[in-house]
Structure 1
């Protein structure tokens, strides 16, 4: 019997989201071209919103974002 892999989750806040794809072509094939190579991401509840130049360029579920991108919290100093 195999074990289920647990899914990562994110709390509400702002993050830097980096694509795991190494090229724009690969990112585009996965539907992540508007985020590639990285974008500001804001999590609100179960949704994640990706921004460029202050405008939303893409959104997806928080679970998808948490498990398909490398995310780093943006900490205010």
Structure 2
């Protein structure tokens, strides 16, 4: 049985929350995003923002696999 392919997060603006449970003690960036952050995807790369500052970034497939996303208006600022 082959593993299920994960589609990359499509381009757009989102509110991201890490899947629970997640390790807070690892250098995986999830703790930077917890409990949620604004993010922008170009379909290949996702950048996460809090208080207008970039806090973390990862590829769009990793993001799709490890976070939940809710679309937000694209006119939204990077403040999170």
Normalised to the residue count of structure 1, the TM-score between the two structures is 0.79
Cα drift, residue 42 of structure 1: 0.4
CA distance in structure 2 between the aligned counterparts of 1:51 and 1:13, rounded to whole angstroms: 14
Matched residue SS, 1:40: strand
Gaps of 5+ in 2: 75-80
**What RMSD in Å do the two structures reach over aligned CA positions?**
1.9
Q: TM-score normalized by structure 2?
A: 0.77
**Structure-to-structure mapping, 1:51-70, within 5 angstroms:** 51-70=49-68
Unaligned residue ranges in structure 1 (runs of 5+) = none
Which one has a larger percent strand, Structure 1 or Structure 2?
A: 1
Larger radius of gyration: 1
